[in-house]
Structure 1
Amino acid sequence: SDEFRMVRTQPIVFSPLDPHLLFFATNCLWQTRDGGQNWTQLSPDLTRKTYEIPASVGNFRARPTAQPRQRGVIYTIAPSPLEKSRIWAGTDDGLIHLTTDGGRNWTNVTPPQIGAWWKISLLEASHFDKSTAYAAVNTIRLDDLRPHIYRTNDAGKSWKEIVQGIPPNENVNAVREDPRRRGLLFAGTERAVYVSFDDGENWRSLRLNMPATSVRDLIVKDDDIAVATHGRGFWILDNITPLRQLGASSQQTLLFKPQTAVRVHWNFNTDTPLPPDEPAGENPPEGAMIDYSLGEDAAGPVTLEIKDEQGNVVRRYASTDPLPSPDPKLKIPRYWVRPPRVLSDKPGLHRFLWNMHAAPLPEAEREYPMTAITHETAPQPTGPWMPPGEYSVSLTTGGKTLSQPLTLKMDPRVTASTADLAKQFELSKALFQMRAALQPIGKSYDALVAELTKAKERAAGKSELEPIEALRKKMEEFADPAAIRAGQPPELDVLSKVKKLFGDLQAVDAAPTPQQEAAVSSLQRDTQSVTEKWRALPAN
């Protein structure tokens, strides 16, 4: 109708204090409590009645359609997260209003320098002070590409422009406050995301790997930032807990307190990944995120240790760890494979990921799952999942050790009890120890079987063939009889069974079955028997 106006970008916002209260705006503010079936008007027309046509519209000023008329709409709504009746509203023709009584009375609190063609792009009500708010103001319609962000600490009586550090040619579309750390702000401009650690007094780029694109809005969700762009989709910055901790210490070398890690099976796909040219989103990093910062004065190698509640080291990394060589037996495309994770010893801020597994078996052959993801397919872990609980992280460099607690929680969808998961870990650890004992035997076994095959081909007569056949028969005692009957090359049967049962136990988050418990006990006896038989073989 002529009475109510709206544009294609319409604000619709839930109250942060009432999940049933939804706000919507035309040139007036509205609310509903029944999912939009009925609406109540909360404000009069909050837009400008008159205004001047700016020079930036050029020859268009002379056209009849350009003559002044009331045209504005409420473009942004910011209900206070501290006081239900306090609501901020900003219009696309440069006005900011505030109500402190749920809409019965409105006060014009617009900064005096803001004019009719300044768009109040986004308002943010503070999570810490009911009288504080932030305004992102866009002036592109005036051919003014400068950034404009304003802050009030006295309910709009006065405003301060806070854009130091944002380049002069980047209009601002959005400003948001971190709901957990006071003074930590984020801004979205026509090119990037910016961060401020001092309530907007100074800004620095947080673009990282984002393309240069128009950032229209952003929001802090738990420990992540979700960003909406114009033309480049959605982007998420995972785990901003280090940003919340920056500034709390003057030291350059820091180990940040990690966020709670959730143990979750990352991928249950049963096929190959999407083609590289297929547009698709990117998963968040897999594992517990450990962030640290090294100063210019950091000296020597860097080590990182994960310890359980008893202080036992369950995983250790070092910047001197050698990079694994390319797998010569790789049976999948190389672009599927996740690049090795390296603990950096370079100055700056770093993020390292622990996969929440115990240390792997050294020199174990790398096996890759069918559940492949482009550039993120890691070898199957040979160490078991660590159970949920309390751990600690220790970073050592230059003879100095820093420590932080780390909580590992279970996937909330899992119904297995703590005792169930402890039993799973106990059995998996037993199988891990069996595999560690059997692995050198398995390598020797495979090498000997291969050598016997070559020797049989070289044998000149019966006298040379008989001892080879006798030893080959001896090797078959260690192999799966069914595989031998099927004509397959013999392999160490007990090692194959240990690996298979370990994989079965680790594939699900559930209590081990009685049959699995019995199988572990049986394999322990078989491992002991095979080890003794192997040692009894003649050295030659």
Structure 2
Amino acid sequence: MRETVGNEIPANLGVFAASDPEKGNHRGVIYAVAPSFKEIDTIWAGTDDGLIHITRDGGKTWQNVTPPQLKPWSKVSIIEASHFDAGTAYAAINSFRLDDLRAHIYRTRDFGKTWTEITKNIPDGGASNVVREDPVRKGLLFAGTEGSVYVSFNDGDDWQPLQLNLPHTSMRDLAIHGDDLIVATHGRSFWILDDITPIRQMNTEISKESVHLFAPQEAIRFRWNRNPDTPLPPEVPAGKNPPDGAIIDYYLTNAAKAPVKLEIFDAQDHLVRRYSSSDKPEPLEKTASEHPIPMYWVRPAPLLSAGEGMHRFVWDLHYAPPDSLGHEFPISAIVHDTPKYPLGAWALPGNYTAKLTVDGKSFSQQFVVKMDPRIRASLIDLRKQFEMQSGAVEGMNKSFGALLQVRSVRTQLKERSAKAGKGTLVDTMAALDKQAAELEGAAQSNFFGLPPGAKRPEDFSSLNQHFGGILAVADSADAAPTAQATAVFKELQEDLERLAERWTRIRQQDIPALNADLQRAGLAPVDPNKSPDAAPFADADGDDEP
């Protein structure tokens, strides 16, 4: 019960005050409790009729430390004990019942002896519901009102909006979990601001820089989706997954004059991945023409921005994807967040460096990649997985590159044969084309393994698909590859080496000899390095594999 009554009935009740049978003698509800993070026996308590008490002996005795500015019937919505100082606390006061729609947030630094109202730059029109202190950076506060979310970098002395894409609705509570800020609204769902690391690092010096690369938070290597079934329809309400990778934030005061470049290096300073603002994503029309899936499945390609302002880029913790004859979108899709397979090899847990280059100047920050804590595989086993994945990617790239050359040579042979007429020269080109055709082979639609009969001789097309199959096998579990997979992988490497040697002999011996005959016949030579008119592909009916 409040310590004084009688004149404490708010004037805004008007004629209804006289009909109150209790005449203001109402028992307040303890609405907020905040144990101290620094002293085990210190606890703060607030009521819905505008009182704040503190105990410093574990509840044996309580002291009324209500700010003198608080009026009766104010509601102490939230008390936040400081994570850094035992005597510091923050209180968010909701004054709806007083017809006061202004925010009222108070701060004490002396166990409640004195209080300061800290609402500068929070506009009128939204009563305050919550205030929270960041447990990592002292002085970083977040507040929620009846319409918006705000942030303060100086312990509440000044506030600025942190609305972003939030709906303007009642912000009832805030929570900080790790490096995420969580907002609970009244009727408009939960919202999460992923990775507030840049906010924690922001200061006046950074705001003066023309370019700043923030130090990334540690990244967790985890599977983006373990659901083997078809995706939820787009009209079904569902939350969005957090970014599955390393979040890299940077700020440009002005737009860059040249393409911005981002590079990822491992602990040995080996290049892992490179991105540029000049990268061109695959047009959605091309994706739609090659994959019979709803386009709302597709995850947009990550684009590195060169424009002014704050930017966020997510590296997916993979090396560059391989050159593949076939691509697919797994049927276990997520709306607007399904990547195109195959992906490159997984990055191993360890230390990495992000290097941002803007207009000739480079900025670097180190960060750590950690393994999903649910995975018990040793680093040795993960290295074995990485070796098979990276080896499979290398095999796909080599077979694809050779396939480009073979198809280009065959196209040129066809053109020269049409002009040569008949004779020995045409026969020589036909014999060479036969050898090239054997090396080229043909891609198999919906290829999932070897035919049931005896193993057929490999060619560059089948090797590309078989290496792709090994890549998928190695990626199927975060563990060392099986003995069977390792044996098949070694066979494929031997077959690739054999075919590459055969193609090298053709390039170094047969094609130069043919070019001499073509020159004598007045025809253009065959160039094995000439790019074909179209890249080879085998995308056909999609894939029902999870």
TM-score (norm 1): 0.82
Match of 2:471 among 497, 502, 505: 502
**What's the offset of the Cα at 1:504?**
0.7
Matched, 1:132 2:88: yes
**What's the offset of the Cα at 1:279?**
1.0
Q: Find the counterpart in structure 2 of residue 53 from structure 1.
A: 9
**Letter of the aligned partner of 2:232 in structure 1?**
L
Taking a change above 3 Å as real, the CA distance of residues 364 and 77 of structure 1, as seen in their structure-2 partners, is farther
Q: Find the counterpart in structure 2 of residue 100 from structure 1.
A: 56
Q: Find the counterpart in structure 1 of residue 534 from structure 2.
A: none
Q: Find the counterpart in structure 1 of residue 231 from structure 2.
A: 273
Match of 1:202 among 158, 166, 175: 158
Match of 2:398 among 421, 426, 437: 437
**What's the offset of the Cα at 1:491?**
8.5
Q: Counterparts of 2:104 and 2:314 in 1: how far apart (Å)?
A: 38
CA contact (8 A) 1:238 1:284 kept: yes
CA contact (8 A) 1:272 1:370 kept: yes
**What's the offset of the Cα at 1:167?**
1.3
Of stretches 414-423 and 366-375 in structure 1, the one that deviates more from structure 2 is 366-375
CA contact (8 A) 2:6 2:23 kept: no
**What's the offset of the Cα at 1:278?**
0.6
| Correspondence list, 1:182-221, <5 A | 182-221=138-177
SS in 2 for 1:384: coil
**Letter of the aligned partner of 1:275 in structure 2?**
P
SS in 1 for 2:290: coil
Count of residue correspondences: 482
TM-score (norm 2): 0.81
**What's the offset of the Cα at 1:445?**
7.0
Matched, 1:158 2:114: yes
Q: Counterparts of 1:450 and 1:382 in 2: how far apart (Å)?
A: 30
What per-residue deviation string (whole Å, max 9, x for no partner) do you get for residues 190-216 of structure 1? 112111001001111111111111111
CA contact (8 A) 2:406 2:439 kept: no
**What's the offset of the Cα at 1:381?**
4.1
Matched, 1:237 2:193: yes
Of stretches 160-169 and 436-445 in structure 1, the one that deviates more from structure 2 is 436-445
Q: Counterparts of 2:273 and 2:436 in 1: how far apart (Å)?
A: 41
What per-residue deviation string (whole Å, max 9, x for no partner) do you get for residues 476-497 of structure 1? 9946884999xxxx99222211
CA contact (8 A) 2:221 2:244 kept: no
Q: Find the counterpart in structure 2 of residue 408 from structure 1.
A: 369
Q: Counterparts of 2:452 and 2:121 in 1: how far apart (Å)?
A: 69
Q: Counterparts of 1:165 and 1:406 in 2: how far apart (Å)?
A: 35
Match of 2:300 among 326, 332, 339: 339
**Letter of the aligned partner of 1:418 in structure 2?**
L
**What's the offset of the Cα at 1:145?**
0.5
Taking a change above 3 Å as real, the CA distance of residues 477 and 378 of structure 1, as seen in their structure-2 partners, is closer
What per-residue deviation string (whole Å, max 9, x for no partner) do you get for residues 459-503 of structure 1? xxxxx9xx89x9599649946884999xxxx99222211100111
| Correspondence list, 1:75-94, <5 A | 75-94=31-50
Q: Counterparts of 2:7 and 2:264 in 1: how far apart (Å)?
A: 64
Q: Find the counterpart in structure 1 of residue 495 from structure 2.
A: 526
Taking a change above 3 Å as real, the CA distance of residues 246 and 64 of structure 1, as seen in their structure-2 partners, is closer
Q: Counterparts of 1:249 and 1:365 in 2: how far apart (Å)?
A: 49
Q: Counterparts of 2:366 and 2:304 in 1: how far apart (Å)?
A: 19
Q: Find the counterpart in structure 2 of residue 27 from structure 1.
A: none
CA contact (8 A) 1:382 1:432 kept: no
Same amino acid, percent of matched pairs = 47
Q: Counterparts of 1:174 and 1:495 in 2: how far apart (Å)?
A: 58
CA contact (8 A) 1:263 1:410 kept: yes
Gaps of 5+ in 2: 414-425, 445-449, 512-525, 527-546
Q: Find the counterpart in structure 2 of residue 380 from structure 1.
A: 341
Taking a change above 3 Å as real, the CA distance of residues 493 and 433 of structure 1, as seen in their structure-2 partners, is same
Q: Counterparts of 1:397 and 1:191 in 2: how far apart (Å)?
A: 38
**What's the offset of the Cα at 1:448?**
9.9
**Letter of the aligned partner of 2:167 in structure 1?**
P
**Letter of the aligned partner of 2:181 in structure 1?**
I
Q: Find the counterpart in structure 1 of residue 290 from structure 2.
A: 329
SS in 2 for 1:249: helix
CA contact (8 A) 1:48 1:116 kept: no
Q: Counterparts of 1:71 and 1:329 in 2: how far apart (Å)?
A: 70
Taking a change above 3 Å as real, the CA distance of residues 99 and 64 of structure 1, as seen in their structure-2 partners, is closer
Taking a change above 3 Å as real, the CA distance of residues 419 and 476 of structure 1, as seen in their structure-2 partners, is closer
What per-residue deviation string (whole Å, max 9, x for no partner) do you get for residues 498-533 of structure 1? 100111101210011222222221111111223344
Q: Which has the higher helix share?
A: 2
Of stretches 173-182 and 222-231 in structure 1, the one that deviates more from structure 2 is 222-231
CA contact (8 A) 2:255 2:307 kept: no
**Letter of the aligned partner of 1:411 in structure 2?**
D
What per-residue deviation string (whole Å, max 9, x for no partner) do you get for residues 413-455 of structure 1? 1111111111111121111111111113445778999999xxx
**Letter of the aligned partner of 1:151 in structure 2?**
R
Taking a change above 3 Å as real, the CA distance of residues 483 and 532 of structure 1, as seen in their structure-2 partners, is farther
**What's the offset of the Cα at 1:178?**
0.3
Higher RCO (C-alpha 8 Å, min separation 6) = 2
| Correspondence list, 1:462-501, <5 A | 471=434, 475=438, 478=441, 482=451, 492-501=461-470
Q: Counterparts of 1:195 and 1:217 in 2: how far apart (Å)?
A: 14
SS in 1 for 2:489: helix
**Letter of the aligned partner of 2:477 in structure 1?**
V
**What's the offset of the Cα at 1:269?**
1.7
Taking a change above 3 Å as real, the CA distance of residues 300 and 444 of structure 1, as seen in their structure-2 partners, is closer
Match of 1:316 among 254, 274, 295: 274
Q: Counterparts of 1:354 and 1:296 in 2: how far apart (Å)?
A: 24
